[in-house]
Amino acid sequence: MSETNSPTPMHETAIPSSLRTHTVADAWQCFDRNDVAGLNAFLSLDRDATTTGALTGTGALAGVPVAIKDNLATLTLPTTCASRILEGYVSPFEATAVRRLREAGAVVIGKTNMDEFAMGSSTENSAYGPTRNPLDRDRVPGGSSGGSAAAVAAGVVRIALGSETGGSVRQPAAFCGIVGVKPTYGRVSRYGLVAYASSLDNVGVFGSTVAEAAAALEIIAGHDPLDSTSADVPVPPMLPARAHDDVAKPLSGLVVGKPREYFPANLDPRIASHCERALAQLAALGAEVREVSLPSTDLAIPVYYIIAPAEASSNLARYDGARYGARAEAGDLRSMYERTRSRGFGDEVTRRILLGTYVLSAGYYDAYYKRAQAVRTLITREFADVFASGVHLLFTPTTPTPAFRLGELSDPYEMYLSDIFTVTANLAGVPAMSQPIGLVDGLPVGGQFMAPHFAEPTMLRAAAALEAALGATAGAAGVTA
């Protein structure tokens, strides 16, 4: 295996003391004390991590426990994507994002539960059972990175890796009351991330705070020649310690757009109220809040659910019993393929493979896939036009509702709508993040920032200022260890 470029070393972004003081021993104590195993947040654990040499390292994250979503390849633990078809599979290589965390001294304590092959919005589609929300165990943690979000919200770890195709870091972050960041497409290498929809997939980070998420993102970001879509651009400090001289108005000069399509008349008034309070706080911090329009937003869900399944049907063709994981024995090769795939994939994965195969088939390609790509280009241009008009950031709700109950959404389309405010960032490839901004019926509500390509530092700076201003009223999940 060839060597990859090391990410740019951290200069100004400080490693929060909260990360350095939370040890691997603390993680296990929390795991045992809080009965975190009952959350089903982890699919595999590395108890031996407490004795590895990483604990004596001197990197920026030396001795910091981290959790990894189970669709990122690791050398020491299985990579199953929460699917029976990859049961027991151990990768011969490690994802670049995981390797960079280890090189910084972080200790991988386990792989986290997820919707099978990252297909879902609740982490109920895992072949190994659903994950429960640590803030209300009758509710979902969101998906598909629900295991990683639950691990952070429960206090087992303070940072974790997830992945996004249509909001799978931001939506569970909102449901669990923590911070979730999806970087610009290409900012973080996808090498070692099991492909779902390659043009939409991103490796993202969870943190208990904005500063923790920023520190983790800065460590895993940077060009990687092993990923042809990795951007060869510098990695700036993600959260500079000092960004503005006006302490009272730290966001002076910043223009925050409020897209009217993300505040429909039927939006839960309690969520709308929390968003308005956050926007008022941004204005109090010196930002100019300006109403803008992204008129093609209502097309995002149908476009996403044409493009993503189409790419998934191609990417998942490799799981046939001959190359990876489980194999169902049969008398001939064709029967072996059919039995392996029919037994190995769950209902949601099967549904998306069938949908993707249909929209790519002869006679329907132009009508569905080609038209969806044209609308995707339109959505991307609308984002570019808004940012070119002088708007630095957009602020919206992350989700239309707080966390719903396990089994509450049995209609797949109703489930897909929980990502209605997040999929546009993946279609356009822009960075986005969710942070806690309040509570509804005791459940956290997320506010979402979106930014131009590679403008993560601006986005994180505004989020940190808002986090400080909202304080305890934000409803962030309490960290118990």
Rounded (10°) CA dihedral 56, 62, 63, 65:
-150
Residue 144 annotated among the catalytic residues of the structure: yes
Distances in whole angstroms, Cα of residue 472 to Cα of each of 157, 175, 439, 478: 20, 17, 11, 10
Which residue is catalytic, options 69, 111, 182, 258? 69
121, 145, 168, 434: the catalytic one is 168
Torsion of CA 317, 320, 322, 327, to 10 degrees: 160
Q: Are 415 and 446 in contact (CB under 8 A)?
A: no
N- to C-terminal Cα separation, the chain: 39
Residue 284 token pair? 């109090």
CA atoms within 13 A on the CB side of 61: 31
Contacts with 51 (C-beta within 8 Å, 6 or more apart), sequence order: none
Catalytic one of 121, 144, 145, 208: 144
Q: Give the amino acid at 228.
A: S
Q: Please state, in angstroms and rounded to a whole number, the distance separating the CA atoms of residues 10 and 98.
A: 17
Q: Following DSSP, what letter does each residue of 189-251 receive, concatenated?
A: --TTBPPSSTTT-EEEEEESSHHHHHHHHHHHBS--TT-TT--------SS-S---S-SSSTT
Counting every residue written for the chain, the total comes to 481
Residue with token string 């099967």 = 350
Active site residues: 69, 144, 168
